[in-house]
Structure 1
Amino acid sequence: MRVGFIGLGNQGAPMARRIIEAGHPTTLWARRPATLAAFADTGAQRAASPVELAAASDLVCVCVVDDADVEQVVTGEQGVLTGLRRGGVVAVHSTIHPDTCRRLAERAKVHGVSVVDAPVSGGGRAAAEGRLLVMAGGESGTVAYCRKVFETFGDPVVHMGPLGSGQIAKLLNNLLFTANLATSADTLALAPRFGIDRAALAEVVLHGSGASFALDRVKAGGGSLDRLAERAGPLLHKDVRLLADLADTAGAPTGTVLAAADGALAQMGQERLTGPASPAPRK
């Protein structure tokens, strides 16, 4: 299968390298040409635009930052849909609103192209080691078609259900992670009050029943969320807002988890505004 990959950031770059190393003919495009320098030692081809990349691909993987970026590279004047063959597939690895994926699928259908949403979790190291969690949403046959590519960087690859369900699973995962950041940081902050060293408490709890990935990240950040704030804060803010929007629309109670996540966002200077979490999806 010929694969195109767009979005060569900290997570996308190792994903693309795993695809290349697995032997799939791969074409890359990046807004910043300097990003492609890291792939000079591979057999990957370079495209001058998303449309040129799509013309050389059967499956196009998109791993850019947000909804607007995804829509631009897929549906823009020089976007993927202009060049991808009928029967081709676009896989959205970005974490975005499920309605954005459904809207893209409607646009893609006119071109005879399918869309799957396949957000990932685990970070750059997991991508490089081929153990990202891939949460896929879409028609079962289309997900099966993509699976061998997804398995180059992902283990496990889980089909969650219809289009958009992968995004919902990822947003729920990130909501819980954000909430866990708050409870982890707050727990470690209690340690000095009882004459216990924060780092020592973190080391102990990481071997106990209170262990979590979030606690490990807080420990690595020195016991608070300050070091996480600059890089992770805006992304977690986006994801919590998206999930809050979905919950509000569905009338789904969020219990304590959204309140805890809001606590973490506040500690990172990313307070979530009350009211609608995002503009209404465009028709």
Structure 2
Amino acid sequence: MTAQSDAPIGPGSPDANPAPVGFIGLGNMGAPIAKQLLAWAGGLVVCDVRAEATEPFVAEGATAAATADEVARTARLISVTVLNDEQVRDVVDGPQGILRTAAPGTVIAVHSTISDSTAVELAEVCAAAGVHLIDAPVSGGAQGAESGELAVMVGGPREVYDACKPAFKLWAGMPVHAGEVGAGTRMKLARNLLHFISFTATAEASRLAEAAGIDIAKLGRVVRHTDAITGGAGAVMLRDTTAPIAEDDFWHGVFTHVRGLGEKDLSLALGLADRLDVDLPLGTIALRDLGAGFGVGPGEIALASSVGAGTGSPGDDDDDNSATSGEKES
């Protein structure tokens, strides 16, 4: 049964006597995020299982709390950055959890990467007490946390997102409303799928370079330099659907060109790997699936290639950033 409440949502406007915000979990990500919240006009309440972790915040004017329910006595937006689903459940609904004392209208923002089903389940439990739980995982790593430039992907009702946004903007360079509760986590999982597949691809590329006698540290410098220019994998994430592209669509020409460049380079890399006896399973999949992933289908090189062998023609040597060029033209 969902409790109905007309209580204001969250900590209120930063310009109109706002309530305190709380932060639970002051680890490698939590501490630098919480540091940015010292600027919140309503004050900051911090909590960590390690009492010493709260001391630098108290020295800067924050209030320390020993338990989550103590945080919720005053804070009306409570960020949670702990290790896993079990710890989130305990912080939210445990014997000394937030729900023991939270007033109606309080918002719990879970920044930990947990299961989307855990977020949905806990949101339903919280709703019965008139409390809002949103899943709000972050991306950008420790560097983004230190600089206040993280992306935060929020799953929850739009009005709850809007109520939290002023506080989030103190530490997030890109707040995004992903959709209903659970959608923030689903967006984070998709983002990290790309992240860690690319790490695996990095290892594959390094094996090829090492076998070819290339200094892989120098290769890494080249990759970081050029990705900073082109945007890396995100540079081709330009459409709002993964459906096939009609031939008369602007993007068809853009991605057909990118597919041609990609298939050429992948076939050459696979050919080199074949000569050096280096296994490139991700490279083989990429050659097979690149065109389909772009929505334009496989090109001539992919169609002509056999599994595990790169036999394509070198073709056009134009290595410009076609997706970026297409974006400018649109």
Q: Could you state the TM-score of these two structures normalised by the residue count of structure 1?
A: 0.73
Residue aligned with 1:115, SS:
strand
Aligned AA (2:190) = L
Aligned AA (2:112) = S
Superposition map of 1:45-124 within 5 A: 45-124=63-142
Aligned AA (2:51) = P
- Give the equivalent residue in structure 1 for 2:222: 204
Tell me the CA shift for residue 107 of structure 1: 1.0
Alignment partner of 1:157 out of 150, 171, 175: 175
Residue aligned with 1:181, SS:
helix
Superposition map of 1:132-211 within 5 A: 132-208=150-226
- Give the equivalent residue in structure 2 for 1:274: none
Distance 1:177 1:198 in 2: 20
Aligned AA (1:127) = A
- Give the equivalent residue in structure 2 for 1:32: 50
Q: Summarize deviations over 1:39-93 as a string: whole Å, max 9, x none.
A: 2431100112111110111111101111000000110011001111011111111
Q: Summarize deviations over 1:135-179 as a string: whole Å, max 9, x none.
A: 011000001000011111101100011110000000111111110
The alignment-based identity, stated in percent, is: 38
Gaps (5+ residues) in structure 1?
A: 214-255, 261-283
Distance 1:212 1:17 in 2: 30
Q: More deviation in 66-75 or 39-48?
A: 39-48
Gaps (5+ residues) in structure 2?
A: 1-10, 12-19, 234-281, 287-330
Q: State whether residues 205 and 211 of structure 1, in contact with CA within 8 Å, keep that contact through their aligned partners in structure 2.
A: no
Tell me the CA shift for residue 117 of structure 1: 0.9
Residue aligned with 1:160, SS:
strand
Distance 1:98 1:176 in 2: 18
Q: State whether residues 62 and 91 of structure 1, in contact with CA within 8 Å, keep that contact through their aligned partners in structure 2.
A: yes
Aligned length: 218
Alignment partner of 1:19 out of 37, 50, 53: 37
Tell me the CA shift for residue 212 of structure 1: 4.5
Q: State whether residues 29 and 50 of structure 1, in contact with CA within 8 Å, keep that contact through their aligned partners in structure 2.
A: yes
Aligned AA (1:27) = V
CA RMSD of aligned residues (A): 2.2
- Give the equivalent residue in structure 2 for 1:243: none
Q: State whether residues 8 and 16 of structure 1, in contact with CA within 8 Å, keep that contact through their aligned partners in structure 2.
A: yes
Aligned AA (1:66) = N
Residue aligned with 2:59, SS:
coil
Distance 2:115 2:142 in 1: 22
Alignment partner of 1:43 out of 58, 61, 65: 61
Tell me the CA shift for residue 104 of structure 1: 0.8
